[in-house]
Amino acid sequence: MNEGVSLKSKIVYIVLAILTVLLLWLGDEGKQPIVYLGTELHHSVGLIDSESALVLQNSVARYGSVANTPSYVVNRGSYQVDLEYSAEDKDSVLELWEQGDKIAAWPINSWEKKLTAEFTLSKDAKALQFCINYSGNGSLVIKKLTFSPKTLFYTDTYFMMLVVLVLYIVGWKCFMEDGMRLKQGQLLDVCVILGVALLASAPLMQTYLYNGDDLCYHLARLEGLKDGILDGQIPVNILPEGLQNNGYMNAMYPYLFLYIGAFLRICRVSLALSYKTIIFLANVGTAVCAYAAVKSMVRERRCVLLAVVLYTLMPYRFTNILHRGDLGETLALIFWPMVIAGLYHVVMGDRKKWYYLVIGFSGALQSHILSAAYVTAFCVFTALFYCVRIVREKRYVEIGKAAGLSLLLNAWYLVPFLYYYFMEDLNKEVLRWSGYYEQSINPSNLTQSLSLYNKQYFSLGFALIGCLAVGIVFLLVERRERGTDMDGFTAYLLVAGIVFTFLCTGYFPSRALMDSDFFRNIGTMLQFPWRFLGPASACFLFVGVVALERSKLLGSYKNAVLVLLVGLNLFIIITVPTDNIHMPYKNAQALASKGHETKLGTSVGLFYPHEWRLTDATDEKLTSSVVISDFGAITVNDYKKKGTKAVVDYTANDSSAYLELPIQSYLGYRAKDENGAPVTFTRGNGGRIRFFVNGDGTPHQVYVRYGPVAGFILADLVSALTVLACLLWGYPGRGLPERIATAKAALRRAEDGDGTEDSEHEA
pLDDT tens across 349-361, in order?
999 999 999 999 9
Point out the domain boundary residue: 540, 575, 610.
575
pLDDT of residue 570: 81
- Residue 120 forms beta bridges with which residues? 78
Q: State which of 181-185, 600-604, 618-622, 646-650 shows the largest mean pLDDT.
A: 646-650
Mean pLDDT (whole number) for 242-254: 92
pLDDT of residue 398: 94
Together in a domain, 571 and 679:
no
Together in a domain, 534 and 656:
no
Q: Give pLDDT tens digits for 698-741.
A: 999 999 999 889 999 999 999 999 999 998 887 655 555 565 56
Domain membership of residue 725 (yes or no) is no
Together in a domain, 682 and 751:
no
Residue 686 belongs to what domain range? 619-710
Together in a domain, 557 and 672:
no
Domain membership of residue 460 (yes or no) is yes
Pairing verdict, β 72-74 and 77-87: unpaired
CATH classification of the domain holding 62:
2.60.120.260
Give the per-residue SS3 of 106-144: EECCCCCCEEEEEEEECCCEEEEEEEEEECCCCCEEEEE
Mean pLDDT (whole number) for 529-558: 91
For residues 348, 351, 353, 356, the Cα torsion angle rounded to the nearest 10 degrees is 50
pLDDT of residue 406: 96
pLDDT of residue 755: 45
Together in a domain, 395 and 274:
yes
Angle at the Cα of 287 from the Cα atoms of 283 and 288, rounded to 5 degrees: 115
- Tell me if residue 566 falls in helix, strand or coil: helix
Higher-confidence residue: 756 or 592?
Answer: 592
pLDDT of residue 511: 86
Higher-confidence residue: 695 or 49?
Answer: 695
Together in a domain, 144 and 184:
no
Q: pTM of the predicted model, to two decimals?
A: 0.91
Quick one: how far is CA 715 from the chain centroid? 23
- Residue 42 forms beta bridges with which residues? 68
pLDDT of residue 119: 96
Mean pLDDT (whole number) for 440-454: 70
Counting beta carbons within 10 angstroms of the beta carbon of residue 612, is it exposed (0 to 12), middle (13 to 18) or buried (19 or more)?
buried
Domain membership of residue 602 (yes or no) is no
Counting beta carbons within 10 angstroms of the beta carbon of residue 17, is it exposed (0 to 12), middle (13 to 18) or buried (19 or more)?
middle
Mean pLDDT (whole number) for 493-512: 92
Quick one: how far is CA 702 from the chain centroid? 36
Domain membership of residue 204 (yes or no) is no
**Contact partners, residue 505, CB within 8 Å, separation at least 6:** 440, 441, 442, 443, 446, 529
Q: How far apart are CA 589 and CA 48, in angstroms?
A: 19
pLDDT of residue 7: 80
Q: How far apart are CA 409 and CA 393, in angstroms?
A: 27
Together in a domain, 21 and 38:
no
Q: Give pLDDT tens digits for 24-58.
A: 999 899 999 999 999 889 988 888 877 789 998 87
According to DSSP, residue 457 is labeled -
Percent of the chain clearing pLDDT 70 (strictly above): 91
pLDDT of residue 485: 87
pLDDT of residue 204: 86
pLDDT of residue 298: 93
- Residue 481: pLDDT over 80: no
Together in a domain, 556 and 437:
yes
Q: How far apart are CA 27 and CA 6, in angstroms?
A: 32
pLDDT of residue 743: 60
Domain membership of residue 726 (yes or no) is no
pLDDT of residue 1: 42
pLDDT of residue 737: 57
pLDDT of residue 288: 96
- Tell me if residue 91 falls in helix, strand or coil: coil
Together in a domain, 380 and 527:
yes
- Residue 754: pLDDT over 90: no
The size of the chain, in residues, is: 763
Q: Give pLDDT tens digits for 586-630.
A: 776 677 788 888 898 887 888 888 888 998 888 888 998 999 999
Q: How far apart are CA 567 and CA 575, in angstroms?
A: 13
- Residue 657: pLDDT over 70: yes
Q: How far apart are CA 541 and CA 478, in angstroms?
A: 19
Q: How far apart are CA 662 and CA 652, in angstroms?
A: 19
- Tell me if residue 238 falls in helix, strand or coil: strand
pLDDT of residue 597: 87
Together in a domain, 413 and 520:
yes
Q: How many CB atoms lie within 10 A of CB 120?
A: 10
Domain membership of residue 719 (yes or no) is no
Number of domains into which the chain is organized: 5
Name the pLDDT band for 180 (thresholds 50, 70, 90).
low
Domain membership of residue 531 (yes or no) is yes
Report the mean per-residue pLDDT for the chain.
88
pLDDT of residue 756: 43
Together in a domain, 436 and 314:
yes
CATH classification of the domain holding 701:
2.60.40
Smallest CA-to-CA distance from 220 within 740, 607, 684 is with: 607
- Residue 450: pLDDT over 70: no
pLDDT of residue 762: 37
Point out the domain boundary residue: 123, 149, 175.
149
Together in a domain, 339 and 462:
yes
Q: Give pLDDT tens digits for 262-310.
A: 999 999 999 999 999 999 999 999 999 999 999 999 999 999 999 999 9
Name the pLDDT band for 517 (thresholds 50, 70, 90).
confident
- Residue 135: pLDDT over 90: no
Q: How far apart are CA 108 and CA 91, in angstroms?
A: 7
Pairing verdict, β 125-134 and 627-628: unpaired
Mean pLDDT (whole number) for 405-417: 96
Judge whether 320 and 341 are in contact, CB under 8 Å.
no
Mean pLDDT (whole number) for 739-759: 57
Higher-confidence residue: 433 or 666?
Answer: 666
pLDDT of residue 63: 77
Counting beta carbons within 10 angstroms of the beta carbon of residue 517, is it exposed (0 to 12), middle (13 to 18) or buried (19 or more)?
exposed
pLDDT of residue 377: 95
pLDDT of residue 760: 38
pLDDT of residue 98: 92
Domain membership of residue 601 (yes or no) is no
Q: How far apart are CA 403 and CA 280, in angstroms?
A: 30
Name the pLDDT band for 329 (thresholds 50, 70, 90).
very high
Letter string b/e over residues 168-205, b meaning 16 or more CB atoms within 10 A of that residue's CB: beeebeebbeeeeeeeeeeeebeebbeebbebbbebbe
